[in-house]
Structure 1
């Protein structure tokens, strides 16, 4: 459930905060008052693309905050799967700060990406507007809707279909890559034989390249190293060097340390330094003796290093001694040597995987056909309740095993007739904007008891309807709101009369600037707004009586349904 919305410095909104209730939340206002800004802010908070143009003039950034309460344990489980923190009481605070060059998105204080926001939003709320209505016309979306209705059984089969489709395609690619004539096979065998012997002859050991590189650098710098070692030895062990001076210090302190116990630790320290300096001199001399080498060693090491580097360019990293490259070529060599047998084995695997795919796809088709009949019946009844005079509705599942993909072998088309005497035709050929709005509401009614989402936003679902049809839509929203939270932007008094909570969006000019405000209306204020929707510019006593009568009718419908 969406508990609250807080917006700051977004378009015409300076700062607004609104708390929503369960049931039917109605939002009304004059055309251009900023209702689209409100819905846009929710979309932005849930990961929609943000443009710096939405930041209010003069502001450094725009901020949108949504506070949700998770309604189902399944929602909480999915949020935990996304590794997102959820408060103990199940609340989820989503914040999006929109700056000129970037956005900062957080969920309960943890930074997330816009993609993660969209995932979270899809778990918490559904938003329906004209764009969402248009998706009904897409045949691929119609298949998704049918699969959603078919539920877990279809979902499990779709997963099987996807897995077999991926495996089938991988084997088909392997089959196509391995298709070659005798001459091409002989050429590749010859190349593989050469490369296998080249790798085996090189016998590169793990870490050998790094060790050779170290040795080459050391031998190439031997002259300079020897010079510096000699100078260091002279400074330490020569006449007047560090060793002689330290030894003298030791003698001087030993002569007096017995006269004052406080000097004993100092004498011990300089003695340790004398010993360390002797050890240093021996280590330096040992290193100098090891530094000598035959010039041919450097030449051999450089040749070996160059060989390894050339092979690294050809076969990849030498870190594992080219074992992977060697194994790959040996495997390919054996496969080409026994080409016909290998191809035969691959053909058997490919045929088996294709049959597994088709069987899973056929099983999915069966589930879809069974669900289509039931779904069509329920959707037809829902549409009749939305004041369609006649509804003939068929959901056809057409299967073609030659065109299967990751979704299966089916194509779905919604065939509908809403006028007597007309045969059912594809939905995308006949539905108007108002009809699409009602069909979408009918769909949502059918799904209402099947999904885990509690909150829905309907953005002007009343487009293209009026009169008795508007009243039927209002009744349907009222029934849907018994078990769900609905936020509905509308211009129609019939829908407004059904409100459990009523908000008005208005636009004002203050000190030369324009502001959009949202306010919750009291009972009398809501009645006045309903009167405005009924009567236009002037709200008369007669209009208010009409508004009160319409509200009472709406409340009686809700009481009868409860």
Structure 2
């Protein structure tokens, strides 16, 4: 529960430090005094949107801190542990928010910096705030669905439905993308299939064109190569006169004879001997080369045809002939991808059917839970409406289940129907109820759904607007009863409601020269009698008002 709220330099609050207790606390004060200022400040601490205008004029920054005792709040303790935000030995959870005059805000949880998303994530486990304009949301079907789900408390079913909805929609998205891509590529598919077939039939292998060029070059010059190799063999070895090998041998013989005169000639003789060996080896290789040369005009013609075809095919695709094998691989891969689209679409159809059925199954379970809870909620609201001086009122929650309503929230369309007068048929809430009736119905729903909440602290911001007389006393009794199990903080202008509170606080606005300040002080004993009397009769507190106030407090 909320045990302390400290507000500095926020709006018209300069410095406010209040301590709160269990049970029902009523916050009262004259109109315009700023009774809701504490709730607004707390909302900022819980992650509400911050604006630079919230900083008190003349101040550098606003600062709000709220201390919650969570020793009995296991959900909040677990959340803090999961996010590694330690709690002190007193089991206090401290939220703090600062806001500079430039509009920059920072959040803290137990002293650790925390993004606003974390404040918003923790907030529902600590406080549930019911605003004075909540009845305006009551006519919206989406809000009616949220209220029913809140009352039913079937969060696990909602999570399951959301999970299957996301899976189903993801598969639908994939199917759509595949179909769009398939349509886009269908025209290209025929072209690619023709190109692949042409490349496959030509079947040029990796490196083949380079080899064709080499072989063509050799065959085209075969005669010249044979003649030149024969001439080389003759010059080096076969010539009758002055061939290279014979000359080298002659030089070796003559220099060898001179090594006995000068031994330094021996290295030269050795080099010439090696040269002779090299000449013999070269001649052997040339003989093989000469014998292997085949002047095959038919093979030359075939090579020329294949080379010409390769060049023409490459020119068609605007690439070099050497790149044809790579192009073939690319086009074959693209064609396979296109053809796989239809196969994948077929597999996705099966997965889509399964995902849709899983969603429908989960949604039907959620629908059954809603229908069951709708009956209980309608009965409780009917009883509360009758207590709130709508004696003939009847309330019904209809749940229309259809796949046409499919969304992340299931397949249900929820509608609140009401009859406020005898003989009047049940009709949609927004078409029947007047402003005052709508306020009372909203209050009844908020009190009933609050009973089902796990949130320890409930705040009501003038939710009793449009209520008076005996009905106001009933509202006070409802809130006090709620305060027996939850901490209830209620901003009210009704004496009958304030008198039912376990404790009361008064909001005052003071003016000093050019500044205005709002303060909040606890009201006890005789001061509380006077405050309730002021709510009854205005600033002039009469003896009769005091007596009425004393009677209200005593009841």
Q: Same fold (TM over 0.5)?
A: yes
In structure 1, the gaps of 5 or more residues are 195-200, 202-326, 554-562
CA contact (8 A) 1:386 1:476 kept: no
In the superposition, relative to structure 1, how do residues 156 and 513 fare at CA in structure 2: closer, same or farther (>3 Å)?
closer
Matched residue, 1:100: 101
In the superposition, relative to structure 1, how do residues 178 and 499 fare at CA in structure 2: closer, same or farther (>3 Å)?
closer
Whether 1:546 and 2:548 are equivalent positions in the alignment is yes
Matched residue, 2:85: 84
Q: Aligned partners of 2:543 and 2:397: how far apart in 1? A: 50
Give the Å deviation of 1:548: 0.8
Whether 1:358 and 2:367 are equivalent positions in the alignment is no
CA contact (8 A) 2:506 2:521 kept: yes
Q: Which structure 2 residues correspond to residues 262-281 of structure 1 after superposition, within 5 A?
A: none
Q: Which runs of 4+ in 1 moved over 6 A?
A: 188-194, 327-332
Q: Aligned partners of 2:349 and 2:368: how far apart in 1? A: 28
Matched residue, 2:144: 142
In the superposition, relative to structure 1, how do residues 510 and 413 fare at CA in structure 2: closer, same or farther (>3 Å)?
same
Matched residue, 2:187: 183
Matched residue, 1:302: none
> Aligned to 2:131, which of 125, 129, 151?
129
CA contact (8 A) 1:26 1:502 kept: yes
> Aligned to 2:442, which of 427, 433, 440?
440
In the superposition, relative to structure 1, how do residues 512 and 329 fare at CA in structure 2: closer, same or farther (>3 Å)?
farther
Q: Deviations over 1:357-400 (max 9, x none)?
A: 22222222222222211221122222222222122111111122
Q: Aligned partners of 1:400 and 1:472: how far apart in 2? A: 39
Give the Å deviation of 1:67: 0.8
> What's the TM-score, normalizing by structure 2?
0.70
Whether 1:3 and 2:7 are equivalent positions in the alignment is no
CA contact (8 A) 2:27 2:504 kept: yes
In the superposition, relative to structure 1, how do residues 192 and 130 fare at CA in structure 2: closer, same or farther (>3 Å)?
farther
Give the Å deviation of 1:85: 2.5
Determine which structure has more spread, i.e. the larger CA radius of gyration. Answer: 2
Matched residue, 1:57: 57
In the superposition, relative to structure 1, how do residues 401 and 15 fare at CA in structure 2: closer, same or farther (>3 Å)?
same
Matched residue, 2:44: 44
Give the secondary structure class of the aligned counterpart of 1:442: helix
Q: Aligned partners of 1:328 and 1:547: how far apart in 2? A: 91
In the superposition, relative to structure 1, how do residues 356 and 61 fare at CA in structure 2: closer, same or farther (>3 Å)?
same
In the superposition, relative to structure 1, how do residues 514 and 337 fare at CA in structure 2: closer, same or farther (>3 Å)?
closer
Whether 1:112 and 2:110 are equivalent positions in the alignment is no
Give the secondary structure class of the aligned counterpart of 1:137: coil
Give the Å deviation of 1:5: 1.1
In the superposition, relative to structure 1, how do residues 121 and 164 fare at CA in structure 2: closer, same or farther (>3 Å)?
closer
Q: Which structure 2 residues correspond to residues 261-340 of structure 1 after superposition, within 5 A?
A: 334=336, 336-337=338-339
Give the Å deviation of 1:187: 5.2
Matched residue, 2:512: 510
Q: Deviations over 1:107-138 (max 9, x none)?
A: 11011122221222221011111233322222
Matched residue, 2:534: 532
CA contact (8 A) 1:75 1:452 kept: no
In the superposition, relative to structure 1, how do residues 191 and 404 fare at CA in structure 2: closer, same or farther (>3 Å)?
farther
In the superposition, relative to structure 1, how do residues 547 and 96 fare at CA in structure 2: closer, same or farther (>3 Å)?
same
Matched residue, 1:322: none
In structure 2, the gaps of 5 or more residues are 199-205, 207-328
Q: Aligned partners of 1:397 and 1:158: how far apart in 2? A: 16
> What's the TM-score, normalizing by structure 1?
0.70
In the superposition, relative to structure 1, how do residues 436 and 78 fare at CA in structure 2: closer, same or farther (>3 Å)?
farther
Give the Å deviation of 1:333: 5.1
